């Protein structure tokens, strides 16, 4: 009996660790390959390896060489600008909408929540034509600010559901006690609800910051000139038609995108992890 139990336990552990090892390799290998490609001499992927024999920093230098066809620094700043303002805008709008849905009962509340749920199911590219026409009507084609507003609006439904679920877990007794002491709804929101919602705010902030950095479809529809490009568009042009498919330089540019994401995650790590945990356990 004991032998059978030990065998079963060994089999379970073996398959568990084998699956974990497979998933680790599946995740880490593309990253290591991209890092190796960024240090590999030449422009071709054929000779690229994870551990280059003659590593070089030329591709990183090339990104900031100031070539007219490769405005990497400008694209980087454009992406950071859009991501930062999207993050701030998402945090503000989602906080207000989630608080309203969590603490107030008003006509059309259930229909609005259902509408948010439906909006999450519609893929982004389904609205591209409408957004293109909207940009032309408003005269905001090639505008970063229109792109920021679209990103903020696109993140409201999903993030509102996350934030509302977290705020629902905050006891209503806190609101009632504050109202007895004469606090208004505005004061309750700023001094009680919002500070207690910091873990989920970190999740919203992370979503708002990383979303624009990885978006290509929407930004390629709105942005038209090289000066206004974001990193995904600029890097696509790099391997498509600007510099003759310089894949190793593309790899260097892709690696640098991860730096602000990593810094943001490290700054929000504690709140972010607890927010994800709470979001998975609280209704």
Q: What pLDDT digit, counting tens, does each position of 56-85 carry?
A: 788 888 888 767 667 888 899 999 999 999
Q: Which of 202, 198, 237, 201 lies closest to 219 in space, CA to CA?
A: 237
* pLDDT above 90 for 92: yes
Mean pLDDT score of the chain:
82
State both tokens at 6.
Answer: 């030990």
CA 185 to chain centre: 31
Cα separations in angstroms, 80 against 16, 30, 61, 76, 192: 40, 24, 20, 6, 31
Least confident of 86-100, 185-199, 248-262: 248-262
CATH of 69-281, one of 1.20.58.220, 1.10.287.40, 1.10.3720.10, 3.90.1200.10: 1.10.3720.10
87 burial level (CB within 10 Å; 0-12, 13-18, 19+): buried
Higher pLDDT, 105 or 50: 105
- Please state, in angstroms and rounded to a whole number, the distance separating the CA atoms of residues 183 and 46: 67
- Please state, in angstroms and rounded to a whole number, the distance separating the CA atoms of residues 258 and 246: 19
State both tokens at 192.
Answer: 């009680």
pLDDT at 69: 66
Question: Binning pLDDT at 50, 70 and 90, where does residue 124 land?
Answer: confident
């Amino acid at each position: 009996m004991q032998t059978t139990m030990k065998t079963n336990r060994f089999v379970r552990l073996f398959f568990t660790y084998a699956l974990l090892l497979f998933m680790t390799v599946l995740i880490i290998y593309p990253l290591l390959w991209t890092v190796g490609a960024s240090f590999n001499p030449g422009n071709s992927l054929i000779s690229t390896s994870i551990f280059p024999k003659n590593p070089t920093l030329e591709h990183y230098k090339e990104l900031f060489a100031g070539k007219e066809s490769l405005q990497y620094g400008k694209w980087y700043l454009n992406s950071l600008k859009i991501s930062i303002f999207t993050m701030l805008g998402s945090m503000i709008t989602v906080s207000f909408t989630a608080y309203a849905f969590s603490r107030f009962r008003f006509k059309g509340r259930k229909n609005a929540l259902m509408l948010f749920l439906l909006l999450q199911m519609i893929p982004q590219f389904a609205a591209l034509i409408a957004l293109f026409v909207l940009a032309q009507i408003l005269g905001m084609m090639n505008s970063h600010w229109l792109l920021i507003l679209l990103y903020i609006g696109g993140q409201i439904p999903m993030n509102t559901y996350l934030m509302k679920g977290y705020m629902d877990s905050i006891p209503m007794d806190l609101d009632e006690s504050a109202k007895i002491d004469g606090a208004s709804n505005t004061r309750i929101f700023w001094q009680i609800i919002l500070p207690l919602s910091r873990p989920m705010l970190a999740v919203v902030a992370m979503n708002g910051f990383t979303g624009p950095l990885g978006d290509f479809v929407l930004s390629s529809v709105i942005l038209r000139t090289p000066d206004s490009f974001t990193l995904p568009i600029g890097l696509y042009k790099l391997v498509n038609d600007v510099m003759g498919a310089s894949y190793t330089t593309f790899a260097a540019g892709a690696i640098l995108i991860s730096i602000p994401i990593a810094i943001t995650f490290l700054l929000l790590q504690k709140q972010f992890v607890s927010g994800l945990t709470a979001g998975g356990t609280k209704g």
